[in-house]
């Protein structure tokens, strides 16, 4: 395991209680190997997840006054999904500091996306307990500062069908087509599933309480897939 002083430098935060940082990087596999009395980072991860959500929600609310709840919620979800959090962990080489069981170590646990994402949230929880909300907020905003620039480029989530059509027709004269493929549930509580196609190729699918909602979800799924391909 790498030196904790090096990790603190990468975090840009010096702990008063270094045991909190050590706990934040202790993978649950250690307890599975050494016994349930060994503490690990799942409780700190739980705490860090809530602190992270609050800080990003406040910042999105302040930075984007023209976005309503839908786009703000989607933007936050993009920033805190497992892949995004693992990338945050990789940015500070968090994997090299993880305390793992022998089995987890031998199976590539240091590079595992879930381990990196969980440890990153646990570190946030540890900073919150050690230095308070302001310290945790400062760390989070510093880590995510590049992500806020990407938020301004998120699709018009109030009209994903229009956004998808505009995106597709910038390269092709054909418009997307929507097909309802199933419906289930009682008449008063139906759930519809829809696919969106372009030139005969399925781009995405979605479900909703109405055909319109299902089409919107399918369009949004297609937008996310298409934008990932261009990254």
Query: Is it the case that residue 186 has pLDDT exceeding 60?
Result: yes
In the predicted model, is pLDDT for residue 152 greater than 70? no
- Report the C-alpha gap between 194 and 177 in whole angstroms: 10
* Class of the domain covering 160-229: alpha beta
pLDDT level of residue 158 (50, 70, 90 thresholds): low
Q: Record the tokens describing residue 103, joined without a space.
A: 């089995």
pLDDT of res. 178: 95
- Reported pTM: 0.67
Q: Average of pLDDT values for 105-109?
A: 83
- Burial class of residue 25, CB neighbours in 10 A (0-12, 13-18, 19+): buried
Q: In whole angstroms, how far apart are CA 115 and each of 13, 82, 92, 97, 140?
A: 21, 10, 14, 11, 18
**Which positions ≥6 away from 3 have C-beta within 8 Å?**
none
Residue scoring higher pLDDT (81 or 195): 195
Q: Answer yes or no: are the C-beta atoms of 172 and 154 closer than 8 Å.
A: no
pLDDT range class, residue 150, cuts 50, 70, 90: low
Where is pLDDT greater, at 117 or 104?
Answer: 117
SS3 for 140?
helix
**What residue spans of 12-64 are helical by DSSP H?**
18-24, 29-34, 42-63
Q: What is the pLDDT of residues 11-29, one digit of tens each?
A: 999 999 999 999 999 999 8
Q: How much of the chain exceeds pLDDT 70, in percent?
A: 93
The CATH label, of 1.10.3720.10, 1.20.1300.10, 3.30.2230.10, 1.10.1520.10, for the domain at 4-151 is 1.10.1520.10
Catalytic site positions: 49, 121
Domain boundaries, the chain: 4-151, 160-229
Q: How confident is the model at residue 8 (pLDDT cuts 50, 70, 90)?
A: very high
Please write the tens of the pLDDT for every residue from 52-100: 999 999 999 998 887 777 778 888 888 898 888 999 999 999 999 999 8
């Amino acid at each position: 395991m790498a030196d904790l002083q090096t990790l603190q430098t990468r975090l840009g935060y010096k702990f008063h209680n270094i045991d909190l940082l050590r706990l934040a990087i202790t993978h649950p596999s250690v307890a599975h190997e050494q016994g349930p009395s060994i503490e690990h980072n799942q409780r700190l991860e739980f705490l860090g997840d809530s602190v992270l959500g609050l800080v990003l929600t406040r910042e999105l609310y302040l930075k984007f006054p023209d976005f309503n709840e839908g786009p703000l919620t989607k933007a936050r979800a993009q920033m805190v999904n497992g892949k995004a959090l693992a990338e945050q962990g990789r940015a500070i080489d968090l994997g090299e500091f993880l305390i793992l069981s022998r089995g987890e170590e031998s199976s590539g646990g240091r590079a595992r996306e879930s381990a990196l994402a969980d440890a990153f949230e646990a570190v946030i929880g540890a900073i919150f307990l050690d230095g308070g909300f302001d310290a945790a907020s400062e760390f989070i905003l510093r880590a995510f500062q590049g992500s806020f620039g990407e938020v301004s480029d998120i699709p018009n989530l109030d009209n994903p069908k229009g956004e998808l059509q505009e995106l597709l027709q910038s390269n092709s004269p054909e418009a997307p087509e929507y097909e309802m493929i199933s419906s289930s549930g009682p008449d008063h509580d139906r759930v519809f599933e829809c696919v969106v196609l372009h030139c005969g190729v399925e781009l995405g699918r979605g479900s909703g309480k109405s055909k319109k909602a299902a089409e919107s979800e399918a369009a949004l799924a297609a937008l996310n897939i298409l934008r990932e391909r261009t990254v």
